Amino acid sequence: LIALLFLLSLSKQFRMATETKSPKITNVKWGVIGVDGFGTFKDVKVYPGGARSWDWGETGTKHSPGIQCADIQEIIDRGVTHVVLSRGMDLVLETKPDTLDFLKSQNKVVIHEQTEAAVKIYNELVEQGVSVGGIFHSTC
């Protein structure tokens, strides 16, 4: 009985660790980003244990001045050490300077790249077991 309880405890710990890992991005093409276990999105936020649509209307985000602190706050709240910010497929999406300053003040490693490059780096960090989150734009 004790051995069974121990095995159940290990199983629960493994499930918890697996659930808190950031999901991999399975594909990216113009207008579509696929996230393992979460479906497809036009724009997406990914973080340990989850992913959801990035709705620019929630914070009033526009291509310029771009990604705001409010857009990335829920990713930061997940305790990530690395934040990947996509600049769009054609590098049209900007990031507000105060957003980058905020991330640096929080001692976050920031990756700020074109979408396909950002996805590649993000997935490599996930593979390495890094606590990473990101925000990805699938068009311009």
Q: For residue range 95-107, list pLDDT tens digits in order.
A: 999 999 999 999 9
Q: Predicted confidence band at 14 (pLDDT cuts at 50, 70, 90)?
A: very low
Report the run of H or E that residue 17 belongs to, with start and end.
helix 2-19
Query: Do residues 43 and 25 lie in contact, with contact meaning Cβ atoms separated by under 8 Å?
Result: no
φ, ψ for residue 24 (rounded to 5)?
A: -75, 150
What amino acid is encoded at 30 in this protein? W
Res. 67: pLDDT tops 60: yes
What letter would DSSP give residue 79?
T
Q: Which two tokens stand for residue 30?
A: 């113009």
